[in-house]
Amino acid sequence: MKIEEYFDKSIDYLPWEECGEEKKREQFLWQEQLIVKYNADFGEDCFVSQYASIYGVEELNLGDGCMICAGVLLRNISLTAGEKCSFNTNAYLQGKIKLGDFVRIAPDAKIIAMNHTFDDLNKPICQQPIRSKGIIIGDDVWIGAGAVILDGINIGSHSVIAAGAVVTKDVPEYAVVGGNPAKLIRSRLESNDRRKINEEDLKKRLQEFGGEVRDQWQAVLNNRKKHINGREIYVNLPEDSSEEVRPWCDAIEIAAMFDGIPDILDKEVLIKEVQKLQPTMIDYNVLTVGYALEVLGTKILNPFKYIENENKVQLEEKLSSYDWKNDIWSAGANIDHYGTALYMNKKYFQSKNSGTTLFGWLSLNANAQNGMWGVENKDDLLQLVNGFYRLTRGTYAQFGIPLPYPKQAIDTLLEHSKNTRYFRQDCGNACNVLDVIHPLWLCKKQTNYRYDEGKEWAYLQIERILKNWQYEEGFSFELETNYNPGLMGTEMWLSILYLLTDYIGYSDVLGYKPKGVHRTEVALDIIKNN
């Protein structure tokens, strides 16, 4: 073999390294042949070595960024893998296997979802039926070198299978197992960052961070002033070129956290400008405008007539008409808007709407299994959880009403919080993190159920936040510093940090507190008010 041929094969054993255009072209043609042969499906940036052995394929679906090294054997296989799974040299997979995202399979590991039966003593084993229950492996799992996983096993997300382990029983999430047969060595949760954190050091860092933001909030607002159409306004991002409602209100709420007022206009002029922004329709600006005026010490100019004119039957029909399966977020958002308009009307305009119809419908239609509203997609709980946050923020949290099924809700929230598609050390935008911590914080008012697990997640998010503040610019919505910071991201992440620290009992050291949309106080005791 020529030396160039030898090194040309290196990418088949090290597919995570950069390959040239010629290799990419070869990959494209090779994957096309597998698609024709097996009706396979490959996501973007997949690599499948031509020196892997792939035979007897019933199904082969690989998500984005999956890598199959040289020497891998896939035989009599029905394989579905999520994003960024890797199959290292001499790994052997057989039978019906489903992998989540970020699964790492080390060299010589064997995942065999197939068994001979041997019940009939009068027949040779080789003549008896073959049984296949299937193997399911969750997200973020590391399967060590030479490990064996037998048919019918479920491997929980974030677990580690030690080298040489023989797995004969299900493995729970975050478990580290090893031996033959594999037994629990420890839980990864026991050695997580929280145990290593010096609590006093964390409090000190939170206090220092709060002080830094107090010193910089005015600069953050000044850096988002812009002259457009002859007047100075606030914009969310530097590249924005049109006036919108939310940046004004985010600026007001950021200043209010530190007992300040934006200096873009005199207070009375600012109030009049914001009052002009009150919507006639019940939408998100009910929240932005209404709360911004509250933190300025005033109120909206007019009640929301729709709240007063809609009867019981109309409201119940509207609530039932929302798509509680495919668009739960919008359903929850609509209820958040309605609940906030109801709050404004009751507090400032002596509304006769008692809220009984709204809370009655919510009580009757809560899902006792998942603790939320709507039908969950078992593979992706994002819609369900995000809709739950919006719905409960504007109703149960705002009016101080206990949740109907807090423990079931916590189960759903913690399950969703482990989804590495949305939550990793380098991933988790403001909406998705807020939509977990606010409900956890709200449920904590009623129960300490699974609180230690919630705290572990909260500590991880706090660490992410503390390292991603951009000097005199604030936070990006995505949080990571390779994104542009804006007023929306800054207001949201400062509020999220407060909720996280309040959840673990440290919020008093921050030196600020959210006002308005993300405040933690009950806005109005609706029972006493009726």
| 3-state SS, residue 296 | coil
Is the per-residue pLDDT at 25 higher than 80?
A: yes
Quick one: pLDDT at residue 15?
A: 85
Distances (CA, A) of 128 to 111, 118, 132, 353, 416: 22, 6, 13, 71, 42
Once rounded to an integer, what is the mean pLDDT over residues 419-435? 91
Q: Which whole number is the average pLDDT over 350-359?
A: 94
The band of 250, judged by pLDDT with boundaries at 50, 70 and 90, is very high
Q: What is the percentage of the chain residues whose pLDDT exceeds 90? A: 81
pLDDT, residue 310, reads: 87
Percent of the chain's residues with pLDDT above 70: 97
Nearest residue to 393 (alpha-carbon basis) of 332, 448, 349: 332
* Residues labelled catalytic: 116
Q: Where are the domains of the chain?
A: 3-190, 199-509
Q: Is the pLDDT of residue 199 over 90?
A: no
Q: Is the pLDDT of residue 306 over 80?
A: yes
Task: With a cut of 60, say whether residue 191 has pLDDT above it.
Answer: no
Cβ distance 246 to 283 under 8 Å?
no
In this prediction, residues 71-84 reach a mean pLDDT of: 95
User: How close are the terminal C-alpha atoms of the chain, in Å?
Assistant: 87
* β 47-48/67-68 pair status: parallel
Tell me if the pTM is above 0.85. Answer: no
pLDDT of residue 197: 57
The Cα–Cα gap between 494 and 251 comes to: 12
Write down the mean pLDDT value for the chain: 93
pLDDT at 387 over 90: yes
CA distances from 171 to 79, 422, 441 (A): 20, 23, 29
Helix, strand, or coil (residue 85): coil
Token pair for 113? 């979802």
- Band (pLDDT 50/70/90 cuts) for residue 16 is confident
Asked if the 199-509 domain carries CATH number 3.30.420, the reply is: no
More confident site: 225 or 195:
225
**pLDDT tens digits, residue range 143-160?**
999 999 999 999 999 999
| Res 196 pLDDT > 60 | no
**CATH fit for domain 3-190, picks 2.60.34.10, 3.40.50.300, 2.160.10.10, 3.90.1300.10:** 2.160.10.10
**Position with higher pLDDT, 137 vs 424:** 137
Asked if 82 and 102 count as a contact pair (C-beta separation under 8 A), the reply is yes
Distance CA 223, CA 211 (A): 19
Query: Quick check: 453 pLDDT over 60?
Result: yes
Spatial distance between the Cα atoms of 95 and 93, rounded to a whole number of angstroms: 7
